[in-house]
Structure 1
Amino acid sequence: MMMKTLVALLLVATIAATAHASGEEEYEIFPLQLNSGAASEDATLQGITCSSWRLAVEVHNIIEWSTVPAECENYIGHYMQIPKYRQDSKAVNREAYLWVRTVPLPRDGRNIWIFDIGETTLSNLPYYSQNGFGVHKFNSTLFDAWVEKGVAPVLPETLKLYNKLLNLGIKIVFLTGRTVSQTDVTVENLKRAGYHTWEKLILKDPKEYSGKTALEYKSAERVKLEKQGYRIIGNTGDQWSDILGPAAGRRTFKVPNPMYYII
């Protein structure tokens, strides 16, 4: 136990020292909890490495998977808790901003950008760090209890893009799989994290979308937005179900998330 604690402290110190030496701001998604996921070994899984598994997941070659392979828990935990995860998020959000700067935007107040919430604008990493980084099957009761705390930390690179889009006159729509019963806590959490304004916050009505997939739900809500006269300039999510389907937007951007897959 003492050795694990020492390794954890050394890793935190190394991350902080590296960030300071490079001139970058020191950053933690949340206070590191390295009781699991501390090792960085790239384990072999059915003839491929965990890093190759993560790549195949991100580019949607491995689909409809239910949990992270047990062999990859340490690898995924390590990836999620070091600067590499933020760097990958930064690359996506940077490209989104560089692209939108080239797009002619009509000044009629109808331009919107859609953001998902979980693992896109807010991080559920504190929850998943205590639940095997996606190795365990999803437990809706435990996860809803986490959401109700309203303390999900911000994903900083997405917040930067959010602010830049507002400066360009693009309105923000949050479209999330959270249910309408979680509206108040979601509003409070978003504002606490720095998302101070938006055009619409759309949460799922379980009655209206009973038996529907996330892809069907999000596509239907985007179609509604277009029928209301909105122009979907861009769309950012961590799941392929966030960015596929009708009315996906002029361009879509997927931020990394190797911890879970939603159809």
Structure 2
Amino acid sequence: MSQDPEPEATRRDAGEAESSRANRGWWDRNADEYQQDHGGFLGDDRFVWGPEGLDEAEAALLGPAASLKGLRVLEIGAGAAQCSRWLAAQGAAPVALDLSHRQLQHALRIGGDLALVEADAGTLPFRDGVFDLACSAYGAVPFVADPVRVFREVRRVLRPGGRWVFSVTHPLRWAFPDEPGPEGLSVSASYFDRTPYVEQDEDGRAVYVEHHRTVGDRVRDVVAGGFRLVDLVEPEWPAWNGQEWGGWSPLRGNLIPGTAIFVCERDESAAA
């Protein structure tokens, strides 16, 4: 049986519709392998902000665990809803949203009394002001062409003063090869090149898209989305974590940041 050719990796423009279609398909096709490879690290009911292993139980970026009881929380790009399960265990009422039908099937497989929603982060199917908090651990934000649109949608569904916390690949990493070993420690591209990373099939159709923003871009996007930046967390690589995850590794993690976590609050002085 012949196998499909490996997609071509390139840097080129990719808009909202192409990015959404490509990434929905990629996550549907690769959800099984992703959960098999990383499910042990992520756990079934653990809230991890990134490959470094920073745990929300310790970081409390959404607030102290005891304060989450009774709060409505929207998790965007939830995957198999591991973070939402942890939130539910603290007494919160989470809603786990993802673009990928197959990822949400894994959420059903793991189980738990969770609200699961299949939808695009740029068009949230909720009324205004129905959530107290919103969060995303490497979900949605790195894959959308227009993050401000997503942030404005998040702001819309949050109550006044609501907190929005999201993690992405640290923008500095885009200047380095996506390799965990020594070859990943030398700058190979311009940090200021915002051209998306695209994997495309033999007909030139995108099958995976990831968008680069500099740190300054991310801050400006947060403000343009109607939020105030409260903190920017750059987790250090802990001594206990010996795993490699794609381009993340102890070698690189001890030298350059791999994850950026933006802690934001809805800015009531901003225009809706």
> TM-score under structure 2 normalisation?
0.30
> TM-score under structure 1 normalisation?
0.30
Task: Specify which structure has the higher proportion of helix.
Answer: 1
Q: Larger C-alpha radius of gyration, 1 or 2? A: 1
